[in-house]
Structure 1
Amino acid sequence: MATTKKISGYRINFTTDTLIMNYKFYAASQQYGSPEYNLVKSITKDFPNLTVSVQAGREVTTANKNKRMTYENMKKHIEAYENSADLLDVFETVKALSKPLANPHKFVADWFRAQFPDYAAVPTFKDNKLFVLPKKPEEPNPKVYKFKKTKEAS
């Protein structure tokens, strides 16, 4: 008894007369003689009016909260404050503390959000000055232990 491999990665939408494939299935269907090639060939033979559509992959349904949260953009935001020199010193310290962690950017971004909770809001000025007291990272910072440490070189 011959076993057949289940082929997935495509669907047919008969209301729009469209053969929809994911990118992996499409790449496999471009190889002559592959099971995907033979399947697409037989489908297009049975339904010659179908148009082929390739989907790039999974759609992103949640917003990325770290989008545009780069070190450079954080630095530009900090430089807007009157006491930017003090804040930049703390920022550089936090970046240095994040180096041994598996995800240093997340550590710095978490500090930045704690330091500037309203960074996306329109700032309010007092006496034409923008001022915030720097929050220094505690030693040892309890949040450090929530992150995975990278393996040390032996």
Structure 2
Amino acid sequence: MSIELGVADEMISDAVLTADGHRLYVAVHDFLQKAGAIVVLDASTLTEVQRLPGTPDTTFLAGAPDSRYVYSARRDYPDFGLHAFDVTNGSDTQLLNVVGEVHDLAVSPSGRFLFVLREDGLGPDVSRGLITVFDAQSRTAAAQIDVQFAAGILAVSPDGRRLHVGSGI
């Protein structure tokens, strides 16, 4: 099955299904028009119900377990911004400016923490990864984890006790 999301030049960079299974959020970008969006689909009918503003580089999406927020990493040159879209009222808030290129996002099962994997980009070894632990309740960066390899994938265990990091290679 294929789903028409808009213009022919739009490419999908990520998609996330809300925990309640009602909505599918799809990050799309059109490099020719230098535009991007997050397309919201009704998961049961696969029809577009909303199109949220994005940037040409809206890349990674992650959904909160309560289905209230969908988080996105958006390229705001030269850095990335971490955004939260509130599904209940439609507000879109930039939470954090992230230095370096974002490679993945993950949310803890409780929804309290958001993990942002990015490349270091600042030191002599740009292939190193850094994980910013963002506290979604206080809306502050709670910690930073230095990863000693070129990381590309994050996953949180179902009980929230472990953060798994993969190279993506």
Bin the TM-score by the shorter chain. under 0.3
**Normalised TM-score (structure 2):** 0.23
**Normalised TM-score (structure 1):** 0.25
Q: Which structure has the greater CA radius of gyration?
A: 1
**Larger relative contact order (CA 8 Å, sep ≥ 6):** 1
Flag the structure with higher strand content: 2
